[in-house]
Amino acid sequence: MNWRGIFTIVRKDISVLRYSPAVIWPIVIVVVIIMGLMPAVFTVPYYFVEIPENISLEEGLPDDLPEDLREIYDLIADPLLAQFGGMSPQEVLVRYFLVYVFAPMFLIVPVMTTSVIAADTFVGERERKPLEALLHSPLTDEELLLGKVLAAFIPGVVVSIIAFVIYSISVNALSWPIIGAIFFPTPIWLLILVWVMPGVAALGLGASVLVSSRVKTFQEAYQVSGILVLPIMGLFVGQIFGVFYFSLVLTLILGVIVWVVDVVLFWIALEMFSRSEMISRV
């Protein structure tokens, strides 16, 4: 393996990203909205909800719980509700939304970051032409693919870690008036960070690599890869309606599924990626 060549591509692609507003802005906007603003939307209103002080959830939902809150509680899966025993209704809601419901939303960051970067490095570069000179370089097809993949994967993971830190700070700060303690990140979120997030980043990347040989423009590649957000939204909606929740076991299983899909995607990508095919489209 020509590691010098591979890391030259990684460094080049990452340094070029700094001058690519079409890549940077979608990432910044997604991180700010999902990791910074949305937690506020789901936390701040509970500062102002009046709930009788003597309400406890240890013996199920009390009869005097306000109707609108009851509707939300009805959606929370029973095993999860049992874990919240002893907490105030506000704390239950804040923990429910910020720890569980938002877990899939966080996964939008890696999938979106890697797919937008990969769309730029694979298809955008072809559109702008520098790809042709690269294809004439002495790198093998595998080295070229690995360089391009790492150039999207590394920033994708770094951006996701930054998003995680931003989310941790905003969650603890926003929930402080209700919970009064630093409780985030929880073990489930740490598992998502180290096990699921890199897999999801690779998923966005693998999809973009496959799409790149079929589309002509950066925008087209980005939009097609964006379809990956749909299953993530499915996880979000599934939790909202109490179909499942992000337990440690579910998170582990989700990670296994994602990595298996990744292996299949990259195997197909490696089979399909050919210099001949790429240059024919330049």
Binding site for another protein (CB under 8 A): 2, 4-5, 8-9, 12, 15-16, 19-20, 128-140, 275-276, 279-280
- Cβ within 8 Å of residue 81, ≥6 positions away: 57, 73, 92
Query: Which of 23/228 has CB closer to another protein?
Result: 23
Q: Which is nearer to another protein, 12 or 70 (CB)?
A: 12
Half-sphere exposure of 37 (CA within 13 A, CB side): 7
Return d(Cα 198, Cα 202) in angstroms, integer. Answer: 6
Cα distance from N-terminal residue to C-terminal residue, the chain: 26
Q: Which amino acid is at 139?
A: L
128 or 214: whose CB is closer to another protein?
128
DSSP state at residue 226: G
Q: How far is the CB of 128 from another protein (least distance, A)?
A: 7
Min separation Cβ 278 and another protein, Å: 9
Q: CB nearer to another protein: give 128 or 216.
A: 128
The length of the chain is: 282
Instruction: Check: CB of residue 49 under 8 Å from CB of residue 90.
Output: yes
Look at the block and give the residue holding tokens 């700060």: 173
Nearer to another protein among residue 20 and residue 247 (C-beta): 20
Contact 282, 125 (CB under 8 A): no
The residue whose two tokens read 């095919």 is 277
Min separation Cβ 140 and another protein, Å: 5
- The residue among 2 and 168 lying less far from another protein, judged by its C-beta, is 2
